[in-house]
Structure 1
Amino acid sequence: MTENSEKKRPETIITSHVNSDFDSVASMLAAQKLYTDSVVIFPGSQEKNIRDFFISSMSYLFNMAPPENIDFSSVTTLVLVDTRQKKRIPAVADLLNRNDVEIHIYDHHPRQSLSLHQLAEKKQIEETKHKNGSNFQKEDVETNQNKLLEKKQEKDNKLQNNNNFQQEEIEGSFELCDSTGATVTILTKLLRKKNIAITPEEATVMALGIYEDTGSFTYTSTTEDDFREAAFLLSCGASISTISDLISKEIKSDQITWLNALLNEITCHRINGYDIHLSTISSPTYVQDLAAIVQKLMKIEELDVFFAVVLMENKISIVARSRIEEADVGQILSFLNGGGHPYAASATITDKTLAQVEQELLDSIEKTVHGREIVLELMSSPPIIIDSMMTCKKASRVMTRYNINSLLLSEDNRNNVTGFITRQIIEKAIYHKLDHLPVKEYMNTDFAVISTDARIPEIQNKIIEGKQRILPVMRDNEVIGVITRTDLLNFLVSDDKKKQASAPGMARAVKHAKKRNILPFINERLSPDIIELLRDIGRAGDEMGLDLFVVGGFVRDLMLYRKSDDIDIVVEGDGIAFAKHLAVMKQGRCNTHREFCTAVVILPCGFKIDVASSRLEYYKAPAALPTVEMSSIKLDLFRRDFTINTLAIRLNQEGFGTLIDFFGGQRDIKDKSIRIIHNLSFVEDPTRVFRAIKFANRFNFTIGKLTSNLIKNAIRIDFFKNLSGLRVFSELKQILEEENPISAIELLNEYHLDKVIHPGLILDSSVISLMESVKKALAWHDLLYLDIQYARWAVYFMVMIRRCPVKVIDEICNKFRLPPRQKNMVLRDRIRADDRLYLLEKSLPCKNSGLYHILSIFKTEQILYMIATAKKEEARKAISFYYTQLKDVTPLIRGKDLLTMGIKPGPAYRDIMQKVLDARLDGLVDTLEDELEYVNMINQNRYPH
């Protein structure tokens, strides 16, 4: 028998990359079920647990053969799973050059491509090479020219070598690729659609591939499909216990040594605005499960990007992990003939030193990591620019108003910035009594600017090296924003996740926003009608070229699983113009308020949408009403009261459902904490103190320690003295309208805010205890399902002031500017209610008519007040009986009936009606006939015809 006749002659071969992981093994198994009569070439693995499991448990599932036992001349189809790179499939490399072989590729790794920066560099080098080459042919080149050419050639060769992966990527005649967490997810989905049966053993192997490559569904690359197909495999009988035994990789004692070695050698490289961590170590022996050690290190140190470069025996292994999409480790290691996906990758390198590999890796990172649009993140916009002829005194006021330390100056318009001036210069000018002179006299005219595509090194150089406190950002010859020294410093220390900015002022407004897509969240919690309305709003914004956000309470309540019908839209631009456009689009109406740059769109169904231009508010004095100016979404959110109210969701079609968080609102919602945005918040608007208490009560949150201290500070310094009583009453009324305001009232007492309302207000434990009775009375009333509107706040308020002298109550009412009707309700009518309650508790009437006459003069608020404050249960029951059984009793007889009976109209009618009502209340009459007979009896005894 010849050698050739002993070999297998398959038409289809299935294989994957060298150093296989569970995903590639699982994918080969799944592909084998799709391609019957195929032969699998197992490329081998360095991971011990994979090798052991494959040899001892899985080999029988495969129709497998080593390359030396295959006659490749019969092969017509090559199936590649979990890879598309030539250098990672050496066993079948010869098949790639044959035109008679179809190549089918199943992969979850994205195709690699050169960045624009790399393409431009390559083009520049090629042009230089061509120019130098032609000169070389025409001239007798001197030694220095040869050196220049060699240098350019070396750079060109380096770029070419680094980019060889592009030429090494295989083009398939059929490709099924998707950005899933694992390749086997793609193949399992196909098996399910084709109704191909999967045994429990096969399901276990395939599920193992999904679990490993998604980090048990914790990696950023995990997709919805990974969850779905894993669930399908479990339904096929996949063994979770087997998967758990293989996936949970506990660090062994010998591996702890290597973990410590990696930890000790960590270095941080700041590249294009990101912290890239790298450890380089060497080992005389092979390090088992290096990937597991790297994963453990990532968790310990909370790193975003990490590369472990390990010299083992005569090879260098690189294992990379990334949690951010900007650092695609798969693409980075492709330059070093490695591979993987954006969040996990590896490479093996021979014939190079550690120093060489480390430098090449850093070069690859530098070229591959996509730099953020740092400038747009850092800058404050719109810029505050003043006329250079403004006096130093007025300029100082502008700085104080906006809480900034530098100002741009212009002579004619915002585009022609002529210089800048700092607070220090202004203060010195004022100190020297030069406050009347224009700032032009002392401005700094030697300044640099940057474009929107500038990187951190350039920004650092111009601000720090150039000692420039404020850096204008230019786009199309227009200043669109500024970056300050504080902005830069905040960015440079942002890697310390435990630090929180504590200084007040605008610096907090330019912290980097945390962004994440919460569209699934939106689809789960909002009704289809609201979602479609939000999408329509976004489309309307796109039509006008405006950026739109839904903000504030709507987003907060969405995150808290609370229903909210108030939609507040912020427009980066002309909000009024947008509101008018939206009203036309939705066939609604629009009411505008130009003074505050706001509008209300009223839809045909009556639903209201509040629209505002993004705006900045500043306060001319503590407790004053704010002055409004146009601004950006960052500064618009900065003007708000608490971090939990600063969340925004983008509504434009591009990025719809993206949550934007500049100030840690998500964190504070999770921590159940009320925190202000900057330390002067209560100075600018003391009513925020009441709002802090309201939100803490409503959501069962606690008030943060710093915020609590600042509340006490505001009360101690008495920033409330300039606050109008009307504004205090508005906030207090909102608190009392809450479903259960008692804990809020306790906080009012704890912070001594009762004295802000009035020094004579008595809000002690006995009053707060009565509030519980009010709560029960209101709950009792609401359970009656009566369609009666009443003022909840008034019932609590009457209890709150019941121990105060009449004079104090009168002063409180006047301070709050209560309308006469409300003042009478809480003062005159409340006193009468106390008097009548005293009578009832002393002696209850014998008849219903007597009870009715005592209580009928009161409205619902006083009735509930009396129920809440009654000391005797008999009196409380009598009042409840009146409200539910007697209050709405009326006679059936009418004036025309009396006229028919021959009774002349006059005062007698009222007396008769009252007697009939008393008879009905006391059960003496029931029907209209009873009432007519009763009137006849009265008429015979007292009234002549």
Structure 2
Amino acid sequence: MQIITTHLNADFDALASCMAAKKLYPEAVVVLPGSMEKKVKLFFESFKPFEVKKLKEIDLDEVKTLIIVDTRSRQRIGEVAQLLKKPIKVHLYDHHPKGEDDIKADFEITEQIGALASLFTEIFRKKNITITPLEATLMCLGIYEETGYLLFPSTTERDVLAVAYLLKKGANLNIVSQFLKEELSRQEVSLLNELLNSLQEHLINGIRINIGHAVKEEPQDISHIAHKVMDIVDTDALFLLIEMEDKILIIGRSNTPQVDVGLILSEFGGGGHWAAGSATLKEQPVNLLIDELVKVIKQNIKPEKVARDLMTTPVISIQWDKPIKEVEKIMTKYGINAMPVIKDNKYIGIITRGVVEKAIFHGLKQSRVGDFATTDAYTAEEDTPIWEIEKNMVELNQRFVPILKDDEVVGVITRTDILRNLYEELIKKLKISQPAETEESKKNVAKLIKEFFSQEIYEILITAGKLAEEMGYGAYLVGGSVRDLLMRRPSPDIDIVVEGDGIAFANELAKKIDGKVTPHPRFATAKILKEIKKNGEIQSFHIDIATARTEYYESPASLPKVETSSIKKDLYRRDFTINALAVKLNLKDFGLLIDFFGGQRDIKEKKIKVLHNLSFVEDPTRAIRAIRFSEKLEFKISKHTENLIKLAVKMNIFEKLKGPRLYEEIILLLKETLPHQSIKRLADYGLLRVFHPSLDEKKLLSDLAKAYETVQGIEILFLREKYRKELIYLMVILWNLKENERHEFLQKICVPENIKKEVIENISLAEKALQNLPSEEFPAEIYKLLNNLNLETIILMMIYAKEQQKKAISLYLTKLKEIKPLLRGEDLKNLGIPPGPAYKKIFDEILKEKLHGSLLSKEEEIEFAKKFVK
């Protein structure tokens, strides 16, 4: 015999789940351990969806299987629990979190979802089980009641999809509305007022808990009263204690997973899930019960975030005996407005920019910083709850809080950190939905990582996260790969930043993934080469590992000075907001998206925006990068960023550029975008003249457009070989310049010497070849002229060739280029021809004949060789 049961005082979700279980176990008998809620009983008596028996009607010795739905608590199934002492099989279906008195089952399906009826609906769809409109209506009742019409925070996407499916199957929303309507009687209105007047708020670890108490003479379902109170009162969680005859009913509701109502009420013999629950106790003094309830709540509510989670580390600090003028210099260099003052590595106070500037104004720049430090400022420890820090910062009007450990500064929290945290909490609390494409509401992209990275890369990122935990580091996926991930684009770049020793981390990671490390100690970076076998071929890719760094520029356009820092400072040194994103890899927070500067918003709005106003002054090459990203991603450069580019040009910042950065950016621009459009953008900002004043914008843009069309046509029709199209476009830019101007241009953009030599030679060869190129009637001469030129040079010729010359080049690329003698030296040897200079002469003559359309087979070549030798 099989029995289906549920929890005491069955609600609609319990009743629907019993009905659903009955469809999965047709031979089973439904036995309720107690009564139903009033409106549930009314529905059951009105529609009789299935038969229910009492426990006393069952021969317990005949029971072989017990199917329990909508609870896993032994205490909540009443007298049915005695069956658990017998040697029977237990099947369990539930959506509540685990507890200490959980029933051990032989088979179970338990998932945290808004309503168990939703889980059964998914099972019906999967197994293709037919349901009637009445059954669909009961399932809908269960889902709507349990999720508060899909408005409770515990509601999931699966609940919504389940309702949609049930509506397709004929669920009647008129019936649902009729039985879930919550019109209050006069007695219920009186009870509501009594509860509202009795409410007392308790602030526990920054969470607002309201506890109310009332007396009700007649036992009755009052869960809907709790919903009314929650609608009226602005609170994070609510507990109502209702005295009824000889018992006390506790009803709990929560708006935040930090307050797990089911877990808290399980301490009183009740249960539920994090958003809702209840417990029934024997009569006792209410005041003592409230005290015990508050005590249990305190034990179960831990701060969601502590200082350690928000603080920036390492910290830039200043020795107490340094002069004020040095503090001002450091603050300007690192772009900070406050810093801790230390003495013998121990914290003694805070100095702010406002104090420093006033001291300098009063002629005190040589005074010791310790004399002007605020020594009574509020400080916190690593485990201090964020809500406590926030409260003190507001009350004390303090914008900067040092985090101490044994009197040493281990981190700092700023007003910006607190504001960002408050914003994220507001998003979470109000369930503000963001576009699914960016997953902003969840701030976690673990699913995207698994979906858009290869299995090999995904496993490496998991391994990196585990290693970071072992080494006590923070590890982050950063930069373009995160941007591309949010845009649903596969990315070839894997860049990991480590809050710790990046080279040590790279060495350990390489051991775990069987890769080869190339360290760069000067920059605290390393590159791992990893080879994998795929489709029978060996493929390789690189993983760049870097220590989290901050940087400052000693003068405009100079190379930056780099120092170890935090992930926040590391992201701040980057070019644009869309590239200043990170994803945490540590397993505890794997997939957590870090966005300090609004990169997600700018990706959504397709906008290129710098992080700060001196960005182009510090690194002018970012202007070219802005155009590259704008063209490549089809994003718009923000108006403010455009103004900053024009300002950098006006200030002649580009004149101070040194090193290969400019060349690298121009090559990437030509390689990754439509060259004529990108160069047009450079010209619009006045950047083209910066490279060389003799460049003719109109002629150049026309040539580049022609070059792009030529390259596209050749790729489609002729070429399978790889070539550097970016070098072709660079040569087009130089084509109309004089010899000395070409050298000046290449010198200006800091082209490496080997590339410079190659480009100049290629242009010269192309010019000469075009002067001597015969028509297509002379294939041997065409072959002889072009065969010793590289592809880039030949394609450059095609761009500037006349119509007849283009035909000759096309003939070479499509036919002549691939013509070779079929005969080999071994064949000539077999003909009795001794090895020597004659071989080359024979092969040259054979090639000449083949170029004219003769000698179509190897046999013909052999005969020709014999005659030629004679």
What's the TM-score once normalised by structure 1's chain length? 0.70
Note the alpha carbon deviations across 1:199-251, whole angstroms, 9 max, x for none. 556873675478545789998757799799x69x97xxx66242484799799
| Residues in 2 aligned to 1:251 and 1:836: alpha-carbon distance in whole angstroms | 90
1:15–1:28 CA contact under 8 A, matched in 2: no
Pick aligned residue for 2:96 from 102, 109, 113: 109
* Counterpart position of 2:791: 860
2:617–2:648 CA contact under 8 A, matched in 1: yes
Q: In 2 relative to 1, CA 905–108 (structure 1 residues): closer, same or farther, beyond 3 Å?
A: closer
1:557–1:564 CA contact under 8 A, matched in 2: yes
SS state at 1:326 partner: coil
SS state at 2:304 partner: coil
* Counterpart position of 2:576: 642
1:63 aligns with 2:51: yes
2:206–2:387 CA contact under 8 A, matched in 1: no
| Residues in 2 aligned to 1:12 and 1:95: alpha-carbon distance in whole angstroms | 10
| Residues in 1 aligned to 2:643 and 2:175: alpha-carbon distance in whole angstroms | 49
SS state at 1:773 partner: helix
1:14–1:28 CA contact under 8 A, matched in 2: no
Pairwise CA distance, 1:434: 3.4
What's the TM-score once normalised by structure 2's chain length? 0.75
1:612 aligns with 2:537: no
Pick aligned residue for 2:564 from 630, 652, 661: 630
Alpha carbon RMSD of aligned pairs, Å? Answer: 5.9
| Residues in 2 aligned to 1:761 and 1:12: alpha-carbon distance in whole angstroms | 88
Letter matched to residue 26 of structure 1: S
- Aligned pairs for 1:523-922 (under 5 A) are 523-603=450-530, 607-724=541-658, 726-738=660-672, 740-764=674-698, 767-783=700-716, 786=719, 788-827=721-760, 829-830=762-763, 833-834=766-767, 837=770, 844=775, 846-853=777-784, 855-856=786-787, 858-870=789-801, 873-887=803-817, 889=819, 918-922=848-852
1:598–1:611 CA contact under 8 A, matched in 2: yes
1:242 aligns with 2:174: no
Note the alpha carbon deviations across 1:318-370, whole angstroms, 9 max, x for none. 89563x53244555788999964224568999x9xxxxx99999999888654
Q: In 2 relative to 1, CA 484–28 (structure 1 residues): closer, same or farther, beyond 3 Å?
A: same
Q: Relative to structure 2, which stretch is displaced further, 379-388 or 712-721?
A: 712-721
Letter matched to residue 64 of structure 1: V
SS state at 2:29 partner: coil
| Residues in 2 aligned to 1:336 and 1:344: alpha-carbon distance in whole angstroms | 14
Pairwise CA distance, 1:108: 2.0
Q: In 2 relative to 1, CA 98–333 (structure 1 residues): closer, same or farther, beyond 3 Å?
A: closer
1:484 aligns with 2:414: yes
Note the alpha carbon deviations across 1:661-693, whole angstroms, 9 max, x for none. 444444444443333334433333222222222
1:11–1:74 CA contact under 8 A, matched in 2: no
1:386–1:410 CA contact under 8 A, matched in 2: yes
Note the alpha carbon deviations across 1:74-124, whole angstroms, 9 max, x for none. 77889764357899x8xx9677799999998753222579xxxxxxxxxxx
Letter matched to residue 37 of structure 1: V
2:347–2:407 CA contact under 8 A, matched in 1: no
| Residues in 2 aligned to 1:318 and 1:340: alpha-carbon distance in whole angstroms | 10
Pairwise CA distance, 1:797: 1.9
SS state at 2:351 partner: strand
Q: In 2 relative to 1, CA 277–669 (structure 1 residues): closer, same or farther, beyond 3 Å?
A: farther
SS state at 1:535 partner: helix
Q: Relative to structure 2, which stretch is displaced further, 611-620 or 201-210?
A: 201-210
* Counterpart position of 2:28: 36
| Residues in 2 aligned to 1:758 and 1:316: alpha-carbon distance in whole angstroms | 84
Pairwise CA distance, 1:600: 2.0
- Aligned pairs for 1:270-285 (under 5 A) are 272=205
Q: Matched residues, percent identical?
A: 34
* Counterpart position of 1:150: none
* Counterpart position of 2:385: 455
Q: In 2 relative to 1, CA 650–763 (structure 1 residues): closer, same or farther, beyond 3 Å?
A: same
* Counterpart position of 1:82: 70
Q: In 2 relative to 1, CA 611–662 (structure 1 residues): closer, same or farther, beyond 3 Å?
A: same
Pick aligned residue for 1:383 from 315, 320, 323: 315
SS state at 1:479 partner: strand
| Residues in 1 aligned to 2:677 and 2:241: alpha-carbon distance in whole angstroms | 60
| Residues in 1 aligned to 2:614 and 2:693: alpha-carbon distance in whole angstroms | 25
Q: In 2 relative to 1, CA 520–197 (structure 1 residues): closer, same or farther, beyond 3 Å?
A: same
2:250–2:278 CA contact under 8 A, matched in 1: yes
| Residues in 2 aligned to 1:923 and 1:171: alpha-carbon distance in whole angstroms | 88
Q: In 2 relative to 1, CA 539–670 (structure 1 residues): closer, same or farther, beyond 3 Å?
A: same
Note the alpha carbon deviations across 1:902-940, whole angstroms, 9 max, x for none. 99979xx99998777555433366654576478679xxx
Note the alpha carbon deviations across 1:738-760, whole angstroms, 9 max, x for none. 26455433433333332333343
2:711–2:795 CA contact under 8 A, matched in 1: yes
| Residues in 2 aligned to 1:523 and 1:492: alpha-carbon distance in whole angstroms | 30
| Residues in 2 aligned to 1:708 and 1:251: alpha-carbon distance in whole angstroms | 61
Pairwise CA distance, 1:421: 1.5
Note the alpha carbon deviations across 1:398-441, whole angstroms, 9 max, x for none. 1111111112122322xx12222221222233334433343234
Q: In 2 relative to 1, CA 319–825 (structure 1 residues): closer, same or farther, beyond 3 Å?
A: same
Aligned length: 820
| Residues in 2 aligned to 1:851 and 1:378: alpha-carbon distance in whole angstroms | 70
| Residues in 2 aligned to 1:29 and 1:846: alpha-carbon distance in whole angstroms | 85
Q: In 2 relative to 1, CA 241–80 (structure 1 residues): closer, same or farther, beyond 3 Å?
A: closer
Pick aligned residue for 1:27 from 14, 18, 32: 18
Letter matched to residue 424 of structure 1: G
Pairwise CA distance, 1:732: 0.8
- Aligned pairs for 1:313-332 (under 5 A) are 320=253, 322=255, 324-328=256-260, 330=262
SS state at 1:737 partner: helix
Gaps of 5+ in 1: 1-9, 114-168, 256-260, 281-285, 352-356, 499-512, 938-945
2:351–2:372 CA contact under 8 A, matched in 1: yes
Letter matched to residue 369 of structure 2: V
| Residues in 1 aligned to 2:854 and 2:78: alpha-carbon distance in whole angstroms | 108
Pairwise CA distance, 1:730: 0.8
* Counterpart position of 1:159: none
Pick aligned residue for 1:396 from 299, 305, 328: 328
Q: In 2 relative to 1, CA 802–327 (structure 1 residues): closer, same or farther, beyond 3 Å?
A: farther
- Aligned pairs for 1:355-504 (under 5 A) are 370-413=302-345, 416-456=346-386, 458-460=388-390, 462-492=392-422
Pairwise CA distance, 1:572: 2.0
Q: In 2 relative to 1, CA 782–297 (structure 1 residues): closer, same or farther, beyond 3 Å?
A: farther
Pairwise CA distance, 1:658: 4.2
Q: In 2 relative to 1, CA 40–743 (structure 1 residues): closer, same or farther, beyond 3 Å?
A: farther
| Residues in 2 aligned to 1:372 and 1:290: alpha-carbon distance in whole angstroms | 29
Note the alpha carbon deviations across 1:771-822, whole angstroms, 9 max, x for none. 3433333334444685634221111222334444554433211112334553
| Residues in 1 aligned to 2:606 and 2:179: alpha-carbon distance in whole angstroms | 36
| Residues in 2 aligned to 1:99 and 1:83: alpha-carbon distance in whole angstroms | 14
Pairwise CA distance, 1:614: 1.8
SS state at 2:170 partner: helix
Letter matched to residue 110 of structure 1: P
Note the alpha carbon deviations across 1:357-404, whole angstroms, 9 max, x for none. 999999998886542224224322111122223232222111111111
| Residues in 2 aligned to 1:86 and 1:893: alpha-carbon distance in whole angstroms | 89
Q: In 2 relative to 1, CA 703–250 (structure 1 residues): closer, same or farther, beyond 3 Å?
A: farther
